[in-house]
Structure 1
């Protein structure tokens, strides 16, 4: 019986080896494809739209966002997203890039945040938000992630983000850690970074927001997190809610010192 099983074991091993080789070859081809189009990243189109929106008077107050303070001073976008999320004294809370832009849109332009919070991705004011994000993050490309974790609220949100990262929910009993808590995981030939380690967090956090080649869309971090909850088959998080910002604080803190590669280019 033992000898009879040997051919079956050999065939199984060959099939598995061939499957692994094919998967690796496909992954390599995807990596080459990304490299080929990197110089012409379609995110540039969203960045251009975002720059125009930044400088265009909008909302009831007919004002631009050129005085928006992202933490580096009014109107300064260079290096701003590399230091976010961060604590802002004027709002008394920790904000990520999108929630901070919501504040600027409300205070400078009179635009109701609910238009974004209650909206849908890729339409209306959420589409506007995506373009603005593309504009801002491009000005941190090549910088180092430098998130200041000394503020007590940052530490509090880090702890909340860590709890949320490991919290299992939904009918499939998934957590963020299910996909991003170990080395060597992959889904649909997409390598999944281990966000619990610096190297993985730097690769993951540092490359989002990003342009998704598969659907020709620019995804912000809020959009990315929303889709993670969807894949867990659980309730959609409220846009710019504490839990989404907390998860961003957790990832950004793990990624501290890594290179900002945004806008990224994804499958």
Structure 2
């Protein structure tokens, strides 16, 4: 009996080791797959389109976006992405990159911001906003996230985002934290980063916008968050909502020091 127990314990230990090695191999395989795909990331096409849209005179006013202030002064793009969302004095709101771009398109070019916000993702001016966001994100590639969090509204949005992150609701009683609230979680072969802290360089908040290989689409952070709500069986919060901006503020502040690799490539 003594020997039987010893062999049972040895067998169980061996199985745990094999299981751990298999998981590690799966993660390594996915990482290698992404690295190979990154050599020809289709996001580069969206980057080129975004740069062209930034410089192109468009809209009812026939003006470019080159005087748009993304937080570092009119027309300054480099370094802006890794400091968003942030408070803007002219709108007196905390805005993320996409909602700020819509404000600039409205004030500088004469577009109807409300109509752009209502347009379906991937269509019309929404597709242009995604391309612009892709290029602007790429201009800060390799830089570290350092969101400002000193203005009262920035502090409020961070706290609202934190509450939303942990709020359980919907038909499945899910929250953002159900998947991204602790270390070591995975779904199928997909590692789930812990977004309550800095998850590491190029992970989570520091990887979007990203090109989705599975559906051949370019996804901004706004679309990523809307789809997370869909997966939780929540209603869509809609483009540029306070909820998505607050979640961006929460994750962005938590990602301080993480290196931006956006636009990345995802499965």
TM-based fold match above 0.5: yes
Instruction: State the TM-score, normalized to the length of structure 1.
Output: 0.91
2:164 equivalent in structure 1 = 164
What is the 5 A alignment of 1:124-203? 124-199=124-199, 203=203
Question: Structure 1: how far apart are the matches of 2:33 and 2:163?
Answer: 36
Q: Which moved more, 1:207-216 or 1:4-13?
A: 4-13
Q: Secondary structure of 1:40's partner?
A: coil
Q: Which moved more, 1:25-34 or 1:41-50?
A: 25-34
2:69 equivalent in structure 1 = 69
1:117 equivalent in structure 2 = 117
1:89 equivalent in structure 2 = 89
Q: Moved runs in structure 1, 4+ residues, more than 6 A? A: 3-17
**Residues 238/191 of structure 1: CA separation in 2 closer, same or farther (3 Å cut):** same
Q: Secondary structure of 1:218's partner?
A: strand
Q: Secondary structure of 2:171's partner?
A: coil
Q: Which moved more, 1:163-172 or 1:191-200?
A: 191-200
Q: Which moved more, 1:63-72 or 1:200-209?
A: 200-209
Q: Give the total of aligned pairs.
A: 267
Q: Secondary structure of 1:41's partner?
A: coil
Question: Structure 2: how far apart are the matches of 1:243 and 1:199?
Answer: 22
Instruction: State the TM-score, normalized to the length of structure 2.
Output: 0.91
Measure how far apart 1:142 and its partner are.
Answer: 0.8
Measure how far apart 1:208 and its partner are.
Answer: 1.3
Structure 2, unaligned stretches of length 5 or more?
none
Measure how far apart 1:24 and its partner are.
Answer: 3.7
1:59 lines up with 2:26 in the alignment? no
Q: Secondary structure of 2:207's partner?
A: coil
Q: Residue by residue, what CA displacement relative to the aligned partner does 1:88-130 show, whole Å, maximum 9, x if unpaired?
A: 1111111110110010000111111123211111111111111
Q: CA RMSD in A?
A: 2.4
**Residues 169/251 of structure 1: CA separation in 2 closer, same or farther (3 Å cut):** same
Structure 1, unaligned stretches of length 5 or more?
none
1:229 equivalent in structure 2 = 229
Question: Structure 2: how far apart are the matches of 1:112 and 1:4?
Answer: 76
